[in-house]
Amino acid sequence: MATQAPAREGSEAAPGSPAVRLKGIRRTYGDVVAIAGLDLDIAEGEFFTLLGPSGSGKTTTLRVIAGFERPDAGSVELAGVDVTHAAPSERDVNTVFQDYALFPHMTVQENVEYGLRVKGVGRRERRMKANEVLERVRLPQVGARRPVQLSGGQRQRVALARAIVNRPTVLLLDEPLGALDLKLRQEMQVFLKALQQDLGITFVYVTHDQEEALTMSDRMAVFNEGRIEQVGSPADVYEHPETEFVAGFVGVSNVLERGGRRFTIRPEKIHMIEGIGGDGETGVIRDVVYVGMVTRYIVDLHSGGELVVVRQNLETSSREVLEAKGKRVRLEWRPEHTYEIDKEENR
């Protein structure tokens, strides 16, 4: 069977190198600094997420990896090979966009085969590979249809099939589930993660949705204004946020000031007891937000500041929790559940 030569001819991939390495990447648009000096290593086979608010530089970073953007400074390596000056087609990378970018005049089958056709793969092999990949994304029956005849979720899976059919070593995904409703999005999160593990391809996944990042990633980088604030596993980033920005963007920011130092504590780690006396912080419940599965309590502390406490509604009714408003409470937590943020060395 004829196989395609990988796109990086003339340069040897160095074994053991990260799948993607960004060194000192900077990209500006006029006065706007889209990326301000980025260093990042993404390991082979990793599901790596770029998480951050709109405008923080995630898409620009993806486009620099893909080669659609040239950085003003810095270098891009793929599997140990410097591709900073290589064209997108010379990089062993594919991209899935949020808006799918399917060819409307082509059938699903033709869309999926497109990349193989450009590379000169023969008709029979194209057909076989496209069928195999359509089956993988659970769309075996729609090959003859055109994109307009599909649902949003189906179109997104066609875009995915088209991107993985020639087995890139790195797949870049830019908010691929952004246009889908919540239920479908949650299904697709599980599906994408399983697909990535199955294929063993490195995924670089962009999202502004913290829950999505926590659900899917092996590791994630939290972006803020063109910089990375923190890189780590989901548990690491959630439990040990290093800056106030990370604490607030990935979860609820509960900040305590103590003797000039700042600490965070996650709302679900706080034990709330009615009445005062005993150890711990005391305060008054200022607000109660009933959210079905859980209730959020906003507590004004006697020592100044406020903390959010989350409790599961195990045995309480909505009426009971709402009556908690105005009550005096004591808050306790295990010392290891607080984490110091904005330390000098992390700034």
Angle made by CA atoms 330, 240, 340, in degrees to the nearest 5? 65
Comparing CA positions, the residue from 188, 296, 219, 301 lying closest to residue 251 is: 296
Binding of residue 305 to ligand ADP (CB under 6 A): no
What is the H or E stretch that residue 23 is in? strand 20-29
Binder of ligand ADP out of 22, 34, 96, 180 (CB under 6 A): 34
Q: 55 is in the binding site of which of ligand ADP, Mg ion, none (Cβ under 5 to 8 A by kind)? A: ligand ADP
Min separation Cβ 24 and ligand ADP, Å: 17
- Spell out where 159-276 has E strands: 170-174, 202-207, 219-224, 227-232, 255-258, 261-265, 271-274
| Minimum CB distance to Mg ion smaller for 129 or for 208 | 208
Query: How many residues appear in the chain?
Result: 347
Binding of residue 217 to Mg ion (CB under 5 A): no
**Tokens linked to 221:** 């980088």
Angle made by CA atoms 104, 107, 113, in degrees to the nearest 5? 105
Min separation Cβ 287 and Mg ion, Å: 33
Q: 230 is in the binding site of which of Mg ion, ligand ADP, none (Cβ under 5 to 8 A by kind)? A: none
DSSP reduced 3-state for 56: coil
Identify which range of 52-60, 115-123, 151-159, 197-205 contacts ligand ADP by CB under 6 A: 52-60
Binder of ligand ADP out of 47, 48, 56, 207 (CB under 6 A): 56
Which residue is associated with the tokens 């920011």? 253
Binding of residue 207 to Mg ion (CB under 5 A): no
Comparing CA positions, the residue from 347, 46, 87 lying closest to residue 203 is: 46
**Beta-carbon count within 10 A of 290 CB:** 16
Q: 109 is in the binding site of which of ligand ADP, Mg ion, none (Cβ under 5 to 8 A by kind)? A: none
In angstroms, rounded to a whole number, what is the distance separating the alpha carbons of residues 77 and 81? 5
DSSP state, residue 260: T
Binder of ligand ADP out of 6, 29, 187, 190 (CB under 6 A): 29
| Minimum CB distance to ligand ADP smaller for 29 or for 103 | 29
**CA distance readout (Å), 11 to 25, 79, 90, 91, 168:** 22, 10, 11, 11, 17
Binding of residue 54 to ligand ADP (CB under 6 A): yes
User: Residues touching Mg ion: how many (CB under 5 A)?
Assistant: 1
| Minimum CB distance to Mg ion smaller for 59 or for 282 | 59
Binder of ligand ADP out of 18, 52, 115, 176 (CB under 6 A): 52
What is the rounded (10 degree) CA torsion for 115, 74, 29, 54?
Answer: 70
Binding of residue 166 to Mg ion (CB under 5 A): no
Binding of residue 59 to ligand ADP (CB under 6 A): yes
Min separation Cβ 38 and ligand ADP, Å: 11
- Binding track over 46-65 against Mg ion, x by CB under 5 A: -------------x------
Return all residues near 162 (Cβ < 8 A) that are at least 6 apart. Answer: 102, 111, 112, 114, 115
Min separation Cβ 329 and ligand ADP, Å: 39
Binder of ligand ADP out of 18, 57, 232, 241 (CB under 6 A): 57
Min separation Cβ 288 and ligand ADP, Å: 34
Q: Under the rule (CB under 5 A), what is the footprint of Mg ion? A: 59
Q: Under the rule (CB under 6 A), what is the footprint of ligand ADP? A: 29, 32, 34, 52, 54-60
